[in-house]
């Protein structure tokens, strides 16, 4: 998986007014698909987010946690799901990227 600086992610999340988070989610899914062979590609993932009005995002955060665990990271899938439900999952991309950075 591609390493990304958490600090730079925070800045991009703040200064792109919601564009970078969409890009990050799509690219992270593309990388997960390459590693595990599971899930939609980038475009399919994006369309599922739109057509389900974001509900697919709850499932994806759980599934992404499982896919990271398959690669050797700690299984935080339930935590991702709970955070997504309780606070909207705004912190999950940073946690996921941190786990991916540890794997790289």
Q: How far apart are the first and last CA of the chain?
A: 6
Q: Which secondary-structure segment (H or E) carries 45?
A: helix 42-51
- pLDDT (tens place) for every residue of the chain, 104 residues total: 678 888 899 999 999 988 898 899 999 999 999 988 888 888 888 899 899 998 998 999 999 999 999 999 999 999 999 999 999 878 999 999 999 999 87
pTM: 0.86
Q: What does the pLDDT read at residue 17?
A: 85
Map out the domains of the chain as residue ranges. 6-103
Q: What does the pLDDT read at residue 1?
A: 67
Residues 6+ apart with CB under 8 A from 7: none
DSSP character at residue 5: -
Q: What does the pLDDT read at residue 104?
A: 77
């Amino acid at each position: 998986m591609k390493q990304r600086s958490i600090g730079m992610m925070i800045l991009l999340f703040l200064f792109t007014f919601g564009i970078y988070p969409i890009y990050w989610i799509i690219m992270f899914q593309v990388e997960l698909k390459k590693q595990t062979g599971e899930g939609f590609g980038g475009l399919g993932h994006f369309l599922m987010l739109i057509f389900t009005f974001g509900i697919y995002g709850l499932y994806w955060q759980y599934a992404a946690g499982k896919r990271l665990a398959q690669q050797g990271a700690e299984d935080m899938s339930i935590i991702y799901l709970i955070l997504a439900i309780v606070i909207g999952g705004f912190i999950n991309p940073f946690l996921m990227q941190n786990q991916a950075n540890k794997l790289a």
